[in-house]
Amino acid sequence: MRPWRSIVCPYHAWTFDLTGRLRRARNTGGMPAFDASVVCLDRIQVTEFGGMAYVNLDPAAAPLREQAHKDFVSLVDMSTYRVTTYGIYSSHMAEAGRADDSAYDVSGATVTEHTVWWLWPSTRLLRHPGRGNFMVLQIIPDGPERTRETWDFYLETAEPDEAELDSIRSVDEVLQVEDIALVESVQRGMRTPAFTQGKIVHDPGGSGLSEHAVHHFHGLALDAYRRELRPA
């Protein structure tokens, strides 16, 4: 299969090169004021991520790389991130990031791994890099398209030190803000008439880009519905 060399309009047969510039325009030779060099197709943003191409028609939108979970991916070393699914839970493990973290300082951390367990149906147990710590997140349905989150923090001492206060503020004011914005953006997309079904990105190696744990959760939800609807 030969690579494309041009884009041709099937209606007017105008021909554009792969940068969008007009090369030939039929029936315009007798138009002295027609300047093909100033005609160009509209530019759109296209980004490849996780083996998929993302297209954004808004020329003013921030690039995808600036809208991803930028503070979290500096907290951990994403090259070490691994996701594993089990019966009613999944685990997410990664080493602490090696670069300066944009969320909070982990330079003196005694805990050097990021560990998370998602427990069916709505509980998340986790530990971030830092001093000895443990967190419990519960995500509770709160009406159509709404959820309520509650966080409990367990630390080494009764009074948190400054780094721990920074880490709590980071969860509340940075990481959760990014998470919520991403989830709400996905929900807006799912509300559009064009949405039918999304695709799951699966990496057999279980990397942090793989969404097999999402698929695993969907399976648990479907099993619960089937049990509930099963005739008595």
At residue 166, the pLDDT reads 84
Tell me the whole-structure pTM to 2 decimals: 0.64
pLDDT band at 182 (very low <50, low <70, confident <90, very high): confident
At residue 129, what are phi and psi to the nearest 5 degrees?
-55, 140
At residue 138, the pLDDT reads 94
How large is the average pLDDT for residues 164-188? 86
Q: What is the average pLDDT value for the chain, to the nearest integer? A: 82
H or E stretch at 52: strand 52-56
pLDDT in tens, 51-84: 667 788 777 777 766 657 555 556 677 788 899 9
- What is the β-pairing status of strands 147-155 and 113-119? unpaired
- CA distance linking residue 76 with residue 126, whole number of Å: 13
Q: Quick check: 56 and 75 in contact, CB under 8 A? A: no
Contacts of 169 (CB under 8 A, 6+ apart): 104
